[in-house]
């Protein structure tokens, strides 16, 4: 059949028709809200390269999560900024049952028990070298790191985390974490693996937020080479085989092809992380008046859904929930 029997514009002719036939929608419940946490009281520090995003102390985090929940957001991903005096090569502080992360998990769970609490599992915020693993003679050693990551995940789970999210890209960590959780009888704690995490320059503002930039070299011996696609499929399938429950792709907009391919090949919930550099770029362009901030934001978030994401970790989560609540 051809023109004029088939007209592409027919179903676009009114807003109600467009609403009826639209395949994808964005809801507040799709989002994972990253939170940056610092020691102290009544602290709310703006991150210079992430305008409108803050590091907060636990008393303010408590208020924040209550507000997020009211907006329909149902999940947070916790990151802590650790003081230099508590950093070492082995990430000892990461295992402290009274550590900032452990207290943060308890604080959120106490305030909003239904909130899904996810935690970043990696050594970099705790590492004196700013690397995701233990360093020996300039090398990031895999197996010794995996041992610590497993203990760290168990420590988060014991504090009340629902899902641990290893972002380190060491080999075998999912199996080791799963075994650790099983041995501790924390069988219902899930693992969201940052399985397709690329060695990306889009992480710059995040490393400023946590003061966690690598002190030497870069992360290319463990994070993926962005010249590869097959790597993502192979590694994420291995993570699922090792016991991961959710797979994450990171960064977001520059990696939609990866998301789409994983959606075809894996049968699990897929998450995407729209990272700090992506947020910073949109803020900067909007501040200059070059683009419409909210509309570009929504268009990018919709692209994640279309490409195959079920969950979206994004610094826009609160703004978008406010926007969607106002629309309704
Ligand atoms: C820690 C971690 C990083 C991010 C999430 N977890 C930084 C890195 O790997 O260097 C990046 C998040 C962002 O840029 O928003 N391993």
> For the chain, what percent of residues have pLDDT higher than 90?
98
pLDDT tens for residues 123-178?
999 999 999 999 999 999 999 999 999 999 999 999 999 999 999 999 999 999 99
Rounded CA gap, 174 and 258, in Å? 20
Nearest alpha carbon, ligand 1 atom 11: 203
pLDDT tens for residues 243-259?
999 999 999 999 999 99
Q: What is the pTM of this model?
A: 0.97
Instruction: State both tokens at 63.
Output: 């208020």
pLDDT surpasses 90 at 1: no
Pocket of ligand 1 (CB under 6 A): 120, 122, 124, 132, 167-168, 203, 206-207, 219, 275-276
Residue 241 alpha carbon to ligand 1 centre in Å: 24
Neighbour tally for 99: CB within 10 Å = 21
Mean pLDDT (the chain) is 97
Query: Which atom of ligand 1 is nearest to 197's Cα?
Result: 9
Instruction: State both tokens at 87.
Output: 């950093």
Strands 44-47 and 50-57: antiparallel
Rounded CA gap, 98 and 260, in Å? 41
What's the confidence (pLDDT) of residue 184?
98
The pLDDT of 37-48, averaged and rounded, is 97
Domains of the chain (ranges plus CATH)?
26-327 (3.20.20.70)
pLDDT surpasses 90 at 328: no
Residue 49 alpha carbon to ligand 1 centre in Å: 15
What does DSSP assign to residue 82?
Answer: P
Catalytic residues: 197, 250
């Amino acid at each position: 059949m051809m023109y004029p029997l088939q007209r592409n514009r027919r179903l676009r002719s009114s807003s109600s028709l467009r609403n009826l036939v639209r395949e994808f929608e964005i809801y507040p419940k799709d989002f994972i809200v990253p939170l940056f946490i610092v020691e102290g009281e009544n602290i709310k520090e703006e991150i210079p390269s992430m305008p409108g995003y803050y590091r907060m102390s636990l008393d303010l985090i408590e208020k924040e999560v209550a507000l997020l929940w009211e907006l329909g957001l149902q999940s947070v991903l916790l990151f802590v900024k650790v003081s230099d005096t508590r950093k070492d090569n082995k990430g000892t502080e990461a295992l402290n049952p009274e550590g900032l992360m452990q207290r943060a998990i308890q604080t959120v769970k106490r305030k909003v028990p239904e909130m899904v609490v996810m935690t970043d599992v990696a050594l970099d915020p705790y590492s004196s070298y700013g690397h995701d693993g233990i360093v020996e003679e300039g090398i990031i050693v895999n197996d010794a790191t995996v041992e610590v990551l497993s203990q760290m995940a168990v420590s988060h789970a014991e504090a009340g985390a629902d899902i641990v999210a290893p972002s380190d890209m060491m080999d075998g960590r999912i199996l080791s974490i799963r075994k650790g959780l099983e041995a501790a009888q924390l069988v219902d704690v899930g693992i969201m693996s940052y399985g397709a995490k690329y060695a990306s320059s889009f992480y710059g503002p995040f490393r400023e937020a946590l003061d966690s930039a690598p002190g030497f070299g870069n992360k290319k011996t463990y994070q993926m080479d962005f010249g590869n696609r097959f790597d993502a499929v192979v590694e994420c399938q291995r993570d699922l085989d090792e016991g991961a429950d959710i797979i994450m792709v990171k960064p977001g907009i520059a990696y939609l092809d990866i998301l789409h391919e994983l959606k075809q090949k894996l049968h699990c919930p897929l998450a995407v992380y729209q990272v700090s550099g992506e947020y910073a770029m949109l803020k900067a362009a909007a501040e200059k008046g070059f683009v419409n901030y909210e509309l570009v934001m929504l268009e990018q978030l919709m692209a994640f859904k279309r490409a195959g994401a079920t969950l979206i970790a994004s610094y826009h989560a609160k703004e978008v929930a406010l926007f969607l609540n106002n629309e309704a």
